Amino acid sequence: MRRLLVALSLCAPLTVAAQSAAPLPIPGRSVVTTTLGIVAASQPLAAQAGVQILAQGGNAIDAAIAANATIGLMEPTGNGVGGDLFAIIYDAKTGRLHGINASGWAASGLSAELLRTKGMTGMPQRGVYSVTVPGAVAGWHAMRERFGTLPFATILAPALYYAEQGFPLTEVIAGGWRRSQTFLASHPNSAETFLPGGKAPGAGEVFRNPALASTLRRIAERGRDGYYTGPTAQAIVDILRENGGTMTLADLAEYQPEWIAPISTTYRGWTVHELPPNGQGIAALMMLDLMEQFPLRDWGFHSLDAMHVMIEAKKLAYADMLRYVGDPRFGRIPVTQMLDKAQAAVRAKQIDMTKAACLVTPREFTSISETKGSDTIYLTVIDAAGNIVSLIQSNYSGFGSGLVPKGAGFMLQNRGGLFTLEAGKINTLAPRKRPLHTIIPAFMEKDGTRIGFGIMGGWNQSQAHAQFVSNIADHGMSIQQALEAGRFTKESFDGCELDIEGSVPQSTRDALAARGHTLKVAPARSGTFGFGQAVMSNAQGVHFGASEPRHDGAAIPQPAPVGPLKR
């Protein structure tokens, strides 16, 4: 019998044996484990700010807002109160998921027709016409009002402390700040705020932002009205009007975020949740539906066929996403058809296992410009009760629009750059319309295990999400392994070029090139592949946290409550 088993193993399918699958990665960090809460963020002091709120009796929602407010100060290269926010909230008491879309709309009077009369043929990526109403603070307010337990004055206290007293910059953030120095110097308000002494602060240098402290204090005192009305709102409108913009005080005061139901698909027994359009999360789900048609687990981690399938699935899913995703208030988006498993099985047959496709077309159900924007933060929180917040927040690209409201201490986002000026599209610029969004939080669950996760980075995000899910569902990785594992990313929508990490085996990279993929190999700790965090709870009530080493971040556990020793 033993000889027979050996003989059968030697006769195993050559396609599997020839895959040369890589061993699972040995993570550079251990998973953080506790029965209490965890905050994972790309800046340790911001994660700690969230932990402080947990220690004061706050829940995951309170802690997420505190961490976001603090990281907006500390990582203005990617986020802040001038940007947008999306979140998925798992309510442990009811077992329900809730989504919030706090993406802002275009200003009144801002239209494709207006910009075309100014001689523009594509959306500007910086400046006044790239600015949409910032949604982050309205998102905080809605989250706290529905699920929070502490007042804003308590939640924002850590961010206020660091804004006034200062904090030392971490390495990756300092690098991004330095690369934006020329951009920041182009306007006196941004230079005054972000270039103290005329230069970008370096790693280990202390930075203070008293103007942002004033903005945060108004929010602490008045909630959303402290931002969308009064001095902050007036400063926003003033800087935009000075530069020819059309935003009004009513555009700010009347803006409201939207509570939405997450959309989902299943993959190898896991249910994976994303938020619906106007975000790109549906592309991650479409990728997974395509990947599920192939035996990635049998082929093995970082094997040729597995990598090829994921890359090709990305192209097909993104083609559909770019055709159909925009603001659903302005047109019909065929979400049901896009997530139809039977259609995915048919679509998967378009993947040629012998060569890369350099041009794919979207499906037809009875273009926007290919802009890049990877400056975003993702954070996630779990509290002792098992509530989870998966939150992403962004300016869009490299600090944002370049416009800082006078005395406000924050940059306005340039999310409007993702509109198109082409007439008749779901994503055509129009007044009070929200653009197609790149930023997406995610959540997955199976048999009592729940994971809040996200990986930021422009168009990288959906494809990174799908790879993370596959790492867990196909290859049994821990959340830390799944974050650290080498990734590919394809920022463009046509052609066969893509970026790939050097940790993907040389043999696999060579074989991908032989199939027609044009590879650009990136070194370790590159920002090309985004930065992610994850938290997890299991059926036994144990909580886990992970933060990948491509950034400065950390997953920090909540300390045990300590009081005077009892005799």
**Which residues form the catalytic set?**
376
Of 401, 419, 403, 420, which is closest to residue 126 (Cα–Cα)?
401
Collapsing DSSP to helix, strand or coil, 232 comes out as helix
What Rg, from alpha-carbon coordinates, does the chain have?
A: 23
Cα–Cα distance, 273 to 264 (Å, whole number): 4
373 contacts 435 by C-beta, under 8 angstroms: no
> Phi and psi (nearest 5°) for 490?
-125, 105
CA atoms within 13 A of residue 450's CA, in its CB half-sphere: 27
In this structure, what is the dihedral angle of CA atoms 318, 456, 548, 295, given to the nearest 10 degrees? -20
- Helix (H) and strand (E) counts in the chain: 23, 19
Cα–Cα distance, 220 to 216 (Å, whole number): 6
- Give residue 326's identity as a one-letter amino acid code: G
Contacts of 133 (CB under 8 A, 6+ apart): 104, 105, 106, 107, 247, 251, 252, 255
Cα–Cα distance, 48 to 45 (Å, whole number): 5
Q: Are strands 270-274 and 488-489 parallel, antiparallel or unpaired?
A: unpaired
* Residue 527 bridge partners (DSSP): none
Neighbour order of strands in the sheet with 263-267:
32-34, 543-547, 532-537, 449-455, 442-446, 270-274, 263-267
Contacts of 544 (CB under 8 A, 6+ apart): 31, 32, 33, 38, 478, 479, 535, 536, 537, 538
∠ Cα 315 320 322 (to 5°): 90
Q: 181-185 long-range contacts, Cβ below 8 Å, gap at least 24?
A: 183/398, 183/399, 183/402, 184/399, 184/402
Of 212, 151, 546, which is closest to residue 379 (Cα–Cα)?
546
Alpha-carbon 515 to chain mean position: 31
Tokens 């896009």 belong to 338
